[in-house]
Amino acid sequence: MGRKVTKAIFPVAGLGTRFLPATKSIPKEILSLVDKPLIQYAIDEARAAGIEEFIFVTSRGKGALEDYFDHAHELESSLRKSGKDKLLDILRGTNMDSGAIAYIRQHKALGLGHAVWCARRLLQEDEPFAVVLTDDVIQGEPPCLQQMIEAYEETGGSMVATMEVPTEKVSAYGVLDVAEDMGAIVRAKGMVEKPAAGTQPSNLAVIGRYILAPTVMQNLNKLKQGAGGEIQLTDAIADEIAEGRDVFGLRFRGQRFDCGSKAGFLQATVAFGLERDDLKDEFADYLAEVVAMRRAAE
C-alpha cells in the first residue's frame, strides 16, 4: 500500500458573500455552529484521521482565521486565575503546535483546483494528500475523513466522499459515473461537474472530502498551464480515470450539512445544539413549541 496520508489542504480563500454582512469583517470559516467555528470542526475531523500538517489556502482579509489557532496568552492567563479549568481545556483544544499550520495565498479566485494547486510546493512529489472543504460539516462516527483513510488503506488510488442526492439537486454537484458498486465503496469510471438535469450518470454526488494520489497534483499542473477561467478539481481527478488509475467513492456513514448555504447552516446549528447535554432539553422544548405554534397557525 502507498504512503500514509499526513497532510491536508483546506481551501479557505472564498469571500463568503452568501453570509454578508457577517463576512464583511469575519472570515466565513470562523462563523460558529453553537460555539465552535466551522474551521474547528474540520480541524478536529482531520486530526482524528491522523493528519499532522495542515495547509490553509487563504486570501486577503483572513487574518482572524490565522489568529484563531494562535495561543491567546492573556485569555488563558485570565481563565487560569479565575479557576475556569473547563474553559481553559476548551481553549487548549483550539491551539495548534508551532509549524503544524502553513498558510498559502491564492491571489486570484480561479476555482477549487487552482486553490489545491497553490499548495503544491508543500507536498513531496510522491505524497498523497487530503483535501477538506470546511463548508461541508459532517456529523459521523467515526469522523468522515477517518472512514475514508481506513477505506483508502485497503484500496489505494484516489478517493472522494460521496452521497446519494435527490435527482432535482444533482446538477449542483460533481457526480460519479460508477463502474462497479461494491456497497460502501464504488469504483468510478468518470466524474461530471454539475451535469445538466437529466444527463447525470448517477445520483452519487461528490462531497467536500478527498484523498488524492500525488498524480492528481501533476494533473493540476497541466490544467494550470493551459487553463482559462476556473480550474476544476473534478477535471484533475477525472484525468486519473482517463489515465487508467483508480478513483473510488466512499458512501460515508453520517449526516452532511451544507454550511455554505444559510438553510444548511441553520439545520446544522439545530442538529449540533440538540447533541449538547447542556442545551438539548431546553432547546428541544423550544423547537417543539415553535412547531406546535406553526401547526396551530395553519
Average pLDDT rounded to a whole number, residues 252-264 = 93
Q: 100 exposed, middle or buried (CB, 10 Å; 0-12, 13-18, 19+)?
A: middle
* Model confidence at 225: pLDDT above 70: no
Residues 21-59 pLDDT 10s: 988 888 888 889 998 999 999 999 999 999 999 999 988
98 — pLDDT class (breaks 50, 70, 90): low
Banded model confidence at residue 3, pLDDT cuts 50, 70, 90: confident
Coil, strand or helix at 9: strand
**Residue-level pLDDT at 87:** 85
Give the domain ranges of the chain. Answer: 7-260, 261-298
Beta strands in the chain (DSSP E): 7-11, 32-33, 36-37, 53-58, 101-105, 129-132, 136-139, 158-164, 174-181, 185-193, 204-212, 247-251, 255-258
The residue to which cell 474540520 is assigned:
42
Q: What is the mean pLDDT of the chain?
A: 87
Instruction: Compute the Cα dihedral for 68, 66, 9, 202 and give only its sign.
Output: positive
Could you tell me the pTM of the whole model?
A: 0.89
Range picked from 84-98, 163-177, 245-259 for highest mean pLDDT? 245-259
CATH topology of domain 7-260: Spore Coat Polysaccharide Biosynthesis Protein SpsA; Chain A (3.90.550)
Task: Count CB atoms within 10 A of the CB of residue 77.
Answer: 11
